[in-house]
């Protein structure tokens, strides 16, 4: 019944763009849009009943976690936990795929809720009005499908990669790694699939915990422990916002289940589409602002981005999966999932857009000046996440989601390629100490994968998926008359991104062959930060035996004659190849399933649909009316979307060309390039950018130092006053005792005499009184 209703609503939704097209009068477009939005929001509000086998998606990784933990308990000294992980995650991916197919064919209603069991119920009276319920239930719509497809798919692939990458740690560490890896996927699926904000919160904290555990995987290294703590603490700040947003939602809407929230937000959305902004209470407008803080923490946006670059202390598969492809997109997911609430606030989405754009620019400038290739990738992740937030902020949730999707593939691939280099060269990550890696024997797959990843990240025109997803965001930013400034920032960032991406590629993967192995071999800190060495962790030890005959050409000079690069094996190469193909294949998604691509089609049928915000009536009518090019801003007189296809392509091309001229042409050594000659021109800027604009130092000065001073102050107060009072209570009886002690002489007659004296006094008193 509910299913039929939902299906008919979906059909109506699909039909409405056609109706909007037929409506050629632009004046009426806004009203048309309002009705249109209301129809869509109703589709969100009525979830069907989902089948219980969907619960397998989170449960299978949990099984993998238990099995890996059992491996640890039984001290398994083989790659068994890796294969169990790949099996469980692969099965989970298969179930996700089945879920997607059933959703898209309409066999499962979109959206629908599959309730596993009642998890938490807090009641303070009779009836649903006096209770908060959080079921262990899954909210399934096309947004969930999109996220789970790449989460489980990439987790499977990266698990396979890690089976080889972590081979040096076979034993307890290997089991620990895969246990946390599985637990991460479980938490992530709770986050993405939960049908209420509390289950999302559980997953949110769960992924945070796994991130902490995996960043600190090499717990004997102080920098890794520091980085883990930093990630955890910075995320706590964001989580406070999320928790407050959750509580405010519960207080205002009386429920934390998405279906109920969306239903209760419907009157506000209607008010919004009719332009009655005053009807929306301030409390409702505050909810998205609080939720946003949580999203900024988890997705490493200003001002909470500082943890992500340090998180690169973790093993590279973790950086690829958690800190590039999946966990850090949780913030984007949160905003997309609660998009109706964000639409209700006048300020929320502009804040998201500006934060995203500024983060993108800041991180890109830092990335340009770093020498550690993994850190460059980390800053590029922060920058691209900024893009996604900007996309959400300029009302192209479809574009943001598409960028999440393409970024997940190419960024995971970039990290895995960097990881292969790190694995093979004993932890070397300094781009001044590596050159021509791509042409060394056994490194071709890595070189090609890196090239594909770099092209995607740089947004090389037409042939890369990164170009198409970035383009959607840029086009929408320029199309929105309020957001043109953001468009320019993002365009500048796109150029910088192309430059720093290809700076890495031209220096490390092509050019004269040269390398210096990392500090695992030397045993002392020779790297840029002197801290990434332990990642390959014993891998170089077995590297010698299998690859003695390879890599001799790569030797720069005799000092490293004893070191042989450890070319990646079949697992790493297979995963890289699959990802490289996938990175190209997802371009196709831009051109199937709806006028703005498959992802936008999925987003349009989920809660992330954005139509109906009166404030952005122009942009909304543009997006909702599908290809109808009225009422939106233009780019120097041209249609923004069409113009961006050329402009962003040219900007990307310029960035790559600059990198080519500066870092490839005429470069004869690994350490020097023509860019060094330009350094005096920019003055101290390069040094500042290399110092990450001293944001960490600033945070130290304005947050950590005052806290430390305050802590010492409180310590003194505690010592002097609190402890003083407690000590006084101890001192009084002690003093009394010691002053009374001499009265106990121990002489029997003394006691007898005092008793007799006492008796005498008593008798005397009695006699006196009786008289």
Partner 1 sequence: MNMLASIPGAMDAVISGTTLAQASAPAPMAASQLAHYLFVSAALFAIGLIGFLTRRNLIIMFLCTELMFQAAGVALIAFSRFHLNMTGQTFVIFILTVAAAEAAMALALVVLLFRRRESLNAEEFSEMKG
Interface residue list for partner 1 (CB under 8 A): 740-749, 752-753, 756
For partner 1, the closer CB: 637 or 742: 742
- Cα distance between residue 373 and residue 367, in whole Å: 9
Least separation in angstroms between residue 744's CB and partner 1 is 3
457, 468 contact by CB (below 8 A): no
Question: Is residue 257 packed enough to be buried (19+ CB in 10 Å), middle (13-18) or exposed (0-12)?
Answer: buried
Least separation in angstroms between residue 760's CB and partner 1 is 10
Least separation in angstroms between residue 745's CB and partner 1 is 6
Q: What is the DSSP string of 204-265?
A: HHHHHHHHHHHHTTSTTSHHHHHHHHHHHHHHHHHHHHHHHHHHHHHHHHS--BHHHHHHHH
For partner 1, the closer CB: 748 or 768: 748
Q: What is the DSSP string of 710-722?
A: HHHHHHHHIIIII
Residues whose CB falls within 8 Å of the CB of residue 391, separated by 6 or more in sequence, listed in order: 356, 397, 399, 400, 403, 472, 473, 476
Least separation in angstroms between residue 742's CB and partner 1 is 6
Residues whose CB falls within 8 Å of the CB of residue 45, separated by 6 or more in sequence, listed in order: 259, 262, 263, 266
- Cα distance between residue 358 and residue 339, in whole Å: 21
Helix (H) or strand (E) holding 648: helix 640-663
For partner 1, the closer CB: 220 or 741: 741
User: DSSP class of residue 408?
Assistant: H
For partner 1, the closer CB: 763 or 765: 763
For partner 1, the closer CB: 105 or 743: 743
Q: How far is CA 752 from CA 119, 228, 303, 466, 756, in A?
A: 75, 73, 81, 102, 6
φ, ψ dihedrals at 196, nearest 5°: -145, 165
Closest C-alpha to 636, from 478, 471, 477: 478
Least separation in angstroms between residue 758's CB and partner 1 is 12
- Interior CA angle at 471 toward 469 and 472, to 5°? 70
For partner 1, the closer CB: 557 or 749: 749
Q: Which two tokens stand for residue 243?
A: 């928790």
Q: What is the DSSP string of 669-686?
A: SSS--THHHHHHHHTTHH
Least separation in angstroms between residue 228's CB and partner 1 is 58
Least separation in angstroms between residue 771's CB and partner 1 is 17
For partner 1, the closer CB: 720 or 759: 759
- Cα distance between residue 478 and residue 482, in whole Å: 9
User: Which position has the token pair 């943001």?
Assistant: 400
501, 368 contact by CB (below 8 A): no
For partner 1, the closer CB: 125 or 746: 746
Least separation in angstroms between residue 740's CB and partner 1 is 8
Q: Which two tokens stand for residue 138?
A: 């899954």
Least separation in angstroms between residue 730's CB and partner 1 is 20
Least separation in angstroms between residue 763's CB and partner 1 is 11
For partner 1, the closer CB: 27 or 748: 748
For partner 1, the closer CB: 19 or 753: 753
- Cα distance between residue 555 and residue 406, in whole Å: 36
For partner 1, the closer CB: 545 or 741: 741
Least separation in angstroms between residue 756's CB and partner 1 is 6
For partner 1, the closer CB: 73 or 770: 770
Question: Is residue 193 packed enough to be buried (19+ CB in 10 Å), middle (13-18) or exposed (0-12)?
Answer: buried
Least separation in angstroms between residue 762's CB and partner 1 is 13
């Amino acid at each position: 019944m509910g299913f039929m209703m939902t299906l008919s609503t979906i059909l109506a939704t699909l039909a409405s763009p056609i109706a909007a097209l037929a409506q050629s009068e632009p004046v009426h477009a806004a009203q048309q849009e309002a009705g249109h939005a209301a129809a869509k929001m109703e589709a969100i509000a009525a979830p069907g009943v989902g089948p219980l086998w969907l619960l397998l998606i989170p449960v299978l990784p949990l099984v993998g976690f238990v099995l890996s933990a059992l491996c640890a308990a039984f001290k398994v000294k083989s790659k068994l936990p890796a294969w169990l992980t790949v099996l469980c995650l692969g099965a989970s991916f298969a179930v996700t795929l089945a879920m997607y197919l059933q959703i898209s064919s309409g066999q499962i209603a979109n959206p629908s809720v599959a309730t596993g069991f009642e998890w938490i119920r807090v009641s303070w009276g009779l009836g649903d009005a006096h209770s908060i319920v959080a079921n262990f239930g899954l909210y399934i719509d096309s947004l969930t499908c999109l996220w789970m497809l790449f989460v489980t798919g990439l987790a499977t692939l990266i698990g396979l990669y890690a089976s080889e990458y972590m081979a040096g740690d076979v034993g307890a560490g290997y089991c620990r790694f895969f246990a946390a890896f599985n637990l991460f996927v479980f938490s992530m699926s709770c986050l993405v699939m939960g049908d209420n904000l509390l289950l999302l919160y559980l997953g949110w904290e769960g992924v945070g915990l796994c991130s902490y555990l995996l960043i600190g995987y090499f717990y004997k290294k102080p920098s890794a422990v520091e980085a883990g703590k930093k990630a955890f603490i910075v995320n706590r700040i964001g989580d406070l916002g999320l928790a407050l947003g959750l509580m405010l939602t519960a207080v205002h809407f009386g429920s934390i289940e998405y279906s109920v929230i969306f239903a209760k937000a419907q009157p506000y959305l209607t008010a919004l589409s009719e332009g009655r902004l005053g009807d929306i209470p301030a409390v409702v407008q505050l909810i998205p602002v609080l939720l946003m803080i949580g999203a900024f923490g988890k997705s490493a946006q200003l001002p909470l981005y500082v943890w992500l670059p340090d998180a690169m202390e973790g093993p590279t598969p973790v950086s690829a999966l958690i800190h590039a492809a999946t966990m850090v997109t949780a913030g984007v997911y949160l905003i997309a999932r609660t998009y109706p609430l964000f639409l209700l606030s006048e300020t929320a989405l502009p804040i998201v857009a500006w934060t995203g754009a500024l983060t993108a620019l800041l991180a890109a400038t830092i990335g340009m000046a770093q020498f550690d290739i993994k850190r460059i990738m980390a800053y590029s992740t922060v920058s691209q996440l900024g893009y996604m937030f900007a996309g959400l902020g300029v009302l192209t949730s479809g574009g943001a989601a598409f960028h999440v999707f393409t970024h997940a593939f190419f960024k995971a691939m970039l990290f895995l390629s960097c990881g292969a280099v790190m694995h093979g060269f004993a932890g070397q990550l300094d781009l001044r100490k590596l050159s021509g890696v791509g042409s060394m024997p056994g490194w071709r797959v890595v070189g090609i994968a890196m090239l594909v990843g770099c092209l995607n990240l740089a947004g090389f025109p037409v042939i890369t998926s990164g170009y198409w997803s970035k383009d959607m965001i840029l086009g929408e930013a320029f199309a929105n008359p309020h957001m043109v400034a953001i468009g320019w920032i993002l365009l500048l960032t796109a150029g910088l991104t192309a430059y720093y991406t290809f700076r890495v590629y031209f220096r490390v993967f092509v050019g004269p062959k040269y390398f210096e192995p990392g500090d695992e071999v030397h045993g002392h800190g020779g790297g840029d930060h002197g801290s990434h060495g332990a990642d390959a962790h014993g891998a170089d030890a077995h590297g010698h035996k299998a690859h003695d005959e390879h890599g001799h050409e790569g030797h720069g000079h005799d000092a490293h004659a004893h070191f042989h690069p450890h070319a990646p094996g079949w697992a790493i190469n297979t995963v890289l190849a699959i990802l490289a193909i996938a990175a190209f294949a997802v371009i196709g998604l831009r051109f199937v399933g709806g006028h703005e691509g498959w992802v936008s089609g999925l987003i349009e049928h989920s809660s992330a649909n954005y139509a109906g915000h009166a404030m952005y009536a122009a942009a909304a009518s543009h997006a909702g009316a599908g290809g109808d090019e009225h009422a939106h801003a233009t780019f120097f007189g041209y249609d923004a979307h069409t113009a961006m296809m050329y402009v962003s392509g040219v900007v990307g091309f310029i960035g790559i060309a600059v990198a080519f001229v500066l870092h490839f042409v005429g470069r004869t050594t690994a350490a020097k390039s023509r860019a060094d000659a330009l350094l005096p021109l920019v003055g101290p800027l390069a040094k500042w950018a290399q110092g990450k604009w001293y944001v960490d130092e600033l945070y130290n000065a304005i947050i950590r130092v005052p806290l430390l001073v305050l802590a010492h102050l409180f310590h003194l107060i505690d010592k002097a006053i609190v402890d003083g009072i407690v000590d006084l209570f101890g001192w009084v009886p002690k003093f009394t005792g010691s002053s009374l002690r001499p009265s106990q002489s121990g002489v029997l007659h003394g006691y007898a005499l005092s008793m007799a004296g006492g008796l005498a006094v008593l008798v005397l008193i009695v006699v006196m009184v009786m008289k």
